[in-house]
Amino acid sequence: MKYLLTISALALSVATLAPAGLPTTGSATVAACPTATFPQVAADPANSRWAAPRLVVTCTDSQVVVESNGIPPYEFQRMTPADLREQNYVWRFPREAELADNSTAIPLLGPIAIAVNGLPIYGPNEGEHPDPYGDPVYNDILDWCLGHTAQRGDYHYHALIVGCLTANEDETKPSPVIAWAFDGFPIYGPNGCADTGCTELVEYQSGWKQTGDPTTYAWDNHRYEPAAIGIELDACNGHVGANEDYHYHATKTFPYILGCYSGFVDPSALRPDRQGGPPGGRGRRGPPRGPIG
């Protein structure tokens, strides 16, 4: 089965976590190739220096395959010394996501998920320079869509804004799927249904609390504090929703997208087939090892 949008990670060493509030059994199945979650992408006239965005989504029996050239479909705003460069991405994630008994740490550097416009998502910290492993949102080094370029010109996100990823945003309704994690679970915007009839709409909140100055070492300056009840998410930034399906939500505060993976992650699936892009590598400090909470 193949779907074309005609307009046109590296897996680092991981550790198991046992965050409070994370379900340990169950699964969520992508019954059909989720092409409807990927909008068409078109060139922004302001980006005439680069090729038009390219996004192709296909499915095998077991995987969703997303091909992208890494060009944003909106005006590129240069926020780092690196200029935008076209990439050759082939991302893969499972069609059937299944919760693991223990969560898995996201890579400290490099891709952790893929946005529905085909652009990669990184974790809530930068690299060693200039502010060692600091929070790029807190340090205000991202553009209006909360992305910027890495050293090799690869544009990526550290947080997500629904309006930058879909033209169909309606804040009176549940947020749409705006990204996919590499364990196969969808990432929605912040708004969701509080009950099966969706009589109440809520904005889900991260359970991570700032404990220090995240200008550097963002992970060391946040701690997950599970809530007994309420609208806070688990340590991975996900939950079992009103329809009893597990999924993640993007949030306004740290870790913004993912705190860890709740599902099974094939390390080879995190390594995109591409030409160019940043090398992976673990910094001095990153997502914590061992139980949280």
Residue 205 lies in a domain: yes
Where in the sequence is the domain holding 226, given as residue range(s)? Answer: 2-270
Residue 283 lies in a domain: no
CB atoms within 10 A of CB 170: 11
Picking from 90, 96, 50, 104, the residue whose alpha carbon sits closest to that of residue 72 is 50
Residue 136 lies in a domain: yes
Instruction: Give phi and psi for 267, each to the nearest 5.
Output: -50, -35
Q: Identity (one letter) of the amino acid at 121? A: I
Query: Would you state the pLDDT for residue 31?
Result: 58
Query: Would you state the pLDDT for residue 129?
Result: 85
pLDDT tens-digit profile, the chain (293 residues): 333 332 233 222 222 333 444 444 444 444 589 999 999 999 999 999 999 999 999 999 999 999 999 999 999 999 999 999 999 999 999 999 999 999 999 999 999 999 999 999 999 999 998 889 999 999 999 999 999 999 999 999 999 999 999 876 777 889 999 999 999 999 999 999 989 999 999 999 999 999 999 999 999 999 999 876 678 899 999 999 988 999 999 999 999 999 999 999 877 666 555 433 333 333 334 564 433 33
* Residue 227 to residue 239: CA distance in whole angstroms: 12
Residue 178 lies in a domain: yes
Query: Would you state the pLDDT for residue 37?
Result: 95
Q: Identity (one letter) of the amino acid at 171? A: E
Picking from 57, 62, 45, 106, the residue whose alpha carbon sits closest to that of residue 237 is 106
Residue 276 lies in a domain: no
DSSP per residue, 229-284: SSSB--TTSEEE-TTS-EEEE--SSTTTT-SSEEE---GGGGS---SS-PPP---S
Residue 293 lies in a domain: no
Number of domains in the chain: 1
Picking from 108, 93, 132, the residue whose alpha carbon sits closest to that of residue 12 is 108
3-class SS of residue 20: coil
Residue 277 lies in a domain: no
Residue 280 lies in a domain: no
H or E element in which residue 163 lies: helix 162-165
202-to-66, 189, 193 alpha-carbon distances in Å:
31, 11, 6
Residue 130: asked if its preceding bond is cis (omega within 30°), the reply is yes
* Residue 198 to residue 201: CA distance in whole angstroms: 7
Query: Would you state the pLDDT for residue 229?
Result: 64
